[in-house]
Structure 1
Amino acid sequence: MYSSKISGLGRYVPDNIVTNDDLSKMMDTNDAWIQERTGIKERRWVKRGSDDTTATMGVKAANIAIERAGINKDDIDFIVFATLSPDYYFPGPGVQVQKELDIKTVGALDVRNQCSGFVYALSVADNYIKTGMYKHILVIGSELHSHGLDKTTRGRGVSVIFGDGAGAAVVSREEDTSKGILSTHLHSQGEFAEELVVKAPGMGTRWVTDIISENDPNDESYFPYMNGQFVFKNAVVRFSEVIMEGLEKNKLSVSDINMLIPHQANLRIAQFIQRKFKLEDDQVFNNIQKYGNTTAASIPIALTEAWEEGKINKGDLVILAAFGSGFTWGSVIIRW
């Protein structure tokens, strides 16, 4: 058995900054209302006409991660791409990355686990490497939410939260099993699938021919729906459980944590977890204030930014934790 380690990190966000004040011109909202409920001050949205897509943003983040890993793109053995907003209904963006990076014909896998997508994708990469199947796996989380949001007062409870961007990691083989990814922990609870959902387009709900023939301005099925309070209550419980599960698996305690990087869903959730575990400000990294919730991209963007700022160092115990639609949740325990 081998261990796996994150050998390179990269991130990309669009140039276009959308502030809370900008949103107040589109819908009945204001900066104070948004910050009080989410902690978000601004987010990045891809401008209409831009060349940025979910796949191309992922490629930009991936190029940085590959360079930082000190390898050549042809050293990549496999690609795992996590997103809820692919460029096409099918195929998924993994194969687009293979094409755009001009990588040899390695396998490409797409993960559709929304907010916990990157954690699930890391778990896949970790286990492929630990079994000796691959040596270097490119893992990407990328999202383009802004083109699919209801930017009216009707949709403000959700649309103010989400942003666009991408993050990437190269996961590589490590001979020393005391280093790298120590364990991953994944869970789901499908009974709450419709508490955070986009129902259309979906073959299970409507016929494509009906969708094409209708033009109903009141049809909200294409926009995200979230039962905010219910999601919040479940998130704080599951975050705590899955973090403790990872610590206990590795015979570690909360006092061993050097850096916790939670999925950037809502600053209030992260602050609740920080208080519960009695962690200092320098033990938890949040950047939702600048980028909003970028779903599968949020953890790799935050992890990359924390590393770039020197907040993660060799030997640190780093914990990644996510909760989101599905419900799905998970954690990754890393000895850096």
Structure 2
Amino acid sequence: MYNSKITGLGYYVPDNVVTNDDLSKMMDTNDEWIQERTGIKERRWIKEGSDDSSSVMGAKASRIAIERAGLTSKDIDFIVFATLSPDYYFPGGGVQLQEMLGMNTVGALDIRNQCSGFIYAMSVADQFIKTGMYKNILVVGAEYHSSGLDKTTRGRGVSVIFGDGAGAAVLSRTEDNTKGILSSHLHSEGKHAEELTVLAPSAKHWVTELLEENDENDESYFPHMNGTFVFKNAVVRFSEAIYEGLKTNGLETTDIDMLIPHQANLRITQFIQKKFKLGDDQVHSNIHKYGNTTAASVIIALSEAWEQGKLKENDLVVLAAFGSGFTWGSVIMRW
């Protein structure tokens, strides 16, 4: 039985920094209000006129990860691409990565699990490698949120949270079963789907309807979030997913060396950190710089933690996420 481990990491965020003060010029908000509720100080938004998109940012992050893995794009056997903001309604961004990176005609799978997208993508890639089907898989999380946000006072509860960016990991086959991904755990609860959602465009509600009706008050095209309800569910499901992963591998909370949580809200991260009695050096958080980049947030944070020398040989690293769907999950790995 093979195992899979990360051999290369990379991330990319746009140069354009949007501070809380910048947002206060667009809507009725201020730095104190945003930081108090989210912990966010700034985020990156793609600048108007830029060529960046989810697939372009994903490709930029991927090139870094592939090079760091000591590979070329021709060595990649499969692509798993997680995003809720693809360049097109269809096809998905995976095939764009295949073309942009000049790869062989490898398979490309798109994952639509929002904030849990990278966790789901890693789990899928891990299974392909463990069964011996593929040797090197490119796993990408990328999001272009800023073009689809309601940047008025009406939308401030959501629009101040999200940022743009991408991250990538190369997952490779290893015969050392003591290293790499030990287990992954995935869950969903669809009855809460509309607590955090974008209702349109969809087969039920196409963009043309909005254009024909010219209904400027139609909010279905912007993200909707029941923030309090999402928060309450997140802190419970985050904990459950982490405990599940530890129990599966006969581990305790004291065995965790590094927790990389989805960067949804600093208050959620702080709650989980306190519950698991983890020190500041055992949790990596960057939401203050990048906001919530959804499927990209875990991989951006993981890449950043690695670049900063926070991950050491044999460290027990836990990835966890919760988000729209509701979906949630965890990945337990030995570095």
**3-state DSSP of counterpart to 2:219:** coil
Tell me, yes or no, if structure 1 residue 102 matches structure 2 residue 102.
yes
Match of residue 15 from structure 1:
15
Q: Distance in 1 between matches of 2:86 and 2:154?
A: 25
Q: Distance in 2 between matches of 1:151 and 1:234?
A: 26
**3-state DSSP of counterpart to 2:305:** helix
Match of residue 311 from structure 2:
312
Number of aligned residues: 335
Q: Distance in 2 between matches of 1:62 and 1:215?
A: 40
Q: Distance in 1 between matches of 2:239 and 2:275?
A: 8
Match of residue 31 from structure 1:
31
Say what the alpha-carbon RMSD is for the aligned residues: 0.7
Match of residue 173 from structure 2:
173
Deviations 1:163-219, CA, capped at 9 Å, x for gaps = 000000000001011110000000000000000000000113x25653442210100
Q: Distance in 1 between matches of 2:331 and 2:316?
A: 10
Q: Distance in 1 between matches of 2:28 and 2:210?
A: 29
Describe how 1:70-149 pairs up with structure 2 within 5 A.
Answer: 70-149=70-149
Q: Distance in 1 between matches of 2:15 and 2:59?
A: 16
Q: Distance in 2 between matches of 1:232 and 1:43?
A: 21
Match of residue 264 from structure 2:
265
Kept after mapping to 1: 8 A contact 2:27/2:156: yes
Q: Distance in 1 between matches of 2:290 and 2:183?
A: 28
Kept after mapping to 1: 8 A contact 2:200/2:206: no
Match of residue 332 from structure 2:
333
Query: Which structure 2 residue ranges, 5 or more long, are not aligned?
Result: none
Q: Distance in 2 between matches of 1:329 and 1:265?
A: 12
Deviations 1:56-113, CA, capped at 9 Å, x for gaps = 0000000000000011110100000000000000000000000000100000000000
Match of residue 40 from structure 1:
40
Aligned sequence identity (%): 76
1:328 to partner: Cα distance: 0.1
TM norm structure 1: 0.99
Kept after mapping to 1: 8 A contact 2:261/2:284: yes
Q: Distance in 1 between matches of 2:217 and 2:305?
A: 42
Match of residue 6 from structure 1:
6
Runs of at least 4 residues off by over 4 Å: none
Match of residue 291 from structure 1:
290
Match of residue 235 from structure 2:
236
Query: Which structure 1 residue ranges, 5 or more long, are not aligned?
Result: none
TM norm structure 2: 0.99
Q: Distance in 2 between matches of 1:48 and 1:18?
A: 13
- Which letter does structure 1 place at the counterpart of 2:306? W
Kept after mapping to 1: 8 A contact 2:200/2:207: no
Q: Distance in 2 between matches of 1:322 and 1:200?
A: 24
Describe how 1:153-192 pairs up with structure 2 within 5 A.
Answer: 153-192=153-192
- Which letter does structure 2 place at the counterpart of 1:19? T
* Distance 1:289-1:208 versus aligned 2 partners, 3 A rule: closer
Match of residue 202 from structure 1:
202
